[in-house]
Amino acid sequence: GWIPMSINFITKNVLRTHWQSVEDGALETGRTPDRSMWRVARDIYVAETTEEARRDVKEGTLARDFTEYFFKMVPRIRGNLDIFKMDKGMADSDVTPDYLLDNLWIAGSPDDVARQIRELYEYVGGFGVLLVMGHEWKPRDKWERSMRLLAEEVMPQLADLK
């Protein structure tokens, strides 16, 4: 069978609907859905402080990739930037790196990132694997530090999630 995976572009309110689709598909094929198999992709960046993380993200490759590529490419394919919006009525011009930091990306201090991941996990009803998206890892030392903080300070706070 297939292993369900949800892309990093979608907001949590859309993400929450994905599991129902998995359950519906499993029911149609006589299988039992298993949330531990569900992979959820997210853009995640960890720094010593939330202020530093937000600054690094806005000045780095993550914001660059969205402003210079995804914000231009997605409307050509879909007609708008609705995929990134919590409220489809908002203007495309309001979809900015600051908006994504507040509504889609997970960035902050180890404690803030752990809280955001836990909130996402609880909001969608749980998942099995969190996939961290990468954006060229520039500057490399900061991205390596982010991954180290994620592994050593964030994930231990989430060990109780099943």
- Domain tally for the chain? 1
Which structure tokens are listed for 11?
């907001």
Query: Would you say residue 155 has pLDDT above 70?
Result: yes
Q: Which two structure tokens, joined as six digits, stand for 40?
A: 């959820």
For residue 72, the SS3 value is helix
Instruction: Give per-residue pLDDT as tens, 55-78.
Output: 999 999 999 999 999 999 999 999
Reply yes or no on whether the pLDDT at 139 is more than 70: yes
- DSSP labels, 85-122: -SSTTS-GGG--HHHHHHHT-EEESHHHHHHHHHHHHH
Q: Which residues contact 81 (CB under 8 A, 6 or more apart)?
A: 71, 74, 75, 92, 95
- In the predicted model, is pLDDT for residue 137 greater than 90? no
The whole-model pTM stands at 0.94
For the chain, give the mean pLDDT. 96
Dihedrals phi, psi of 76, to nearest 5 degrees? -65, -30
Is residue 42 predicted with pLDDT exceeding 90?
Answer: yes
Rounded to whole angstroms, how far apart are CA atoms 23 and 31? 9
Residue 12 sits in a domain whose CATH number is 3.20.20.30
8 Å CB contact between 106 and 66: no
Q: Where are the alpha helices (DSSP H) in 35-91?
A: 50-59, 61-65, 71-78
Query: What's the CA gap between 25 and 96, in Å, rounded?
Result: 35
The token duo for 25 is: 């598909």
Mean predicted confidence (pLDDT) in 1-11: 91
pLDDT value at 88 more than 80? yes
> What pLDDT does residue 37 have?
96
**Quick one: average pLDDT of 130-143?**
90
Provide the 8-state DSSP code for 37. G
Q: Using 50, 70 and 90 to split pLDDT, how confident is the model at 1?
A: low
Range of the domain at 31: 5-158
Instruction: Output the pLDDT for position 138.
Output: 83
Give the model's pLDDT for residue 71.
Answer: 98
Could you read off the pLDDT of 89-125 as tens digits, one per residue?
A: 999 999 999 999 999 999 999 999 999 999 999 999 9
Q: Is 160 helix (H, G, I), strand (E, B) or coil?
A: coil
